Structure 1
Amino acid sequence: MRIRDHRKDDEPEINLVPLIDVILVLIIFFVVTTTFDARSVLKLELPKATGEAPSDTSRALSVLVNADGRYFVDDREVLRDDVESLKATLAEVAGSDRTRKVLLRADARTPHQSVVTAYDALGQLGFRQVMIATAPEVRAQGKPK
Structure 2
Amino acid sequence: MALLKRRVRSNDEIPTASMPDIVFMLLIFFLVTTTIDVDMGIPMQLPDRGGEFKVNPENISNVLINAQGQILIDDELTDITQVQEVISSKVETRGLDADGKPKLIVSIKTEKATTYNSFIQVLDAVKGAGATKISIAEPEK
Q: Normalising to structure 2: TM-score of the pair?
A: 0.49
* Structure with more relative contact order (C-alpha pairs < 8 Å, separation 6 or more): 1
Q: Normalising to structure 1: TM-score of the pair?
A: 0.48
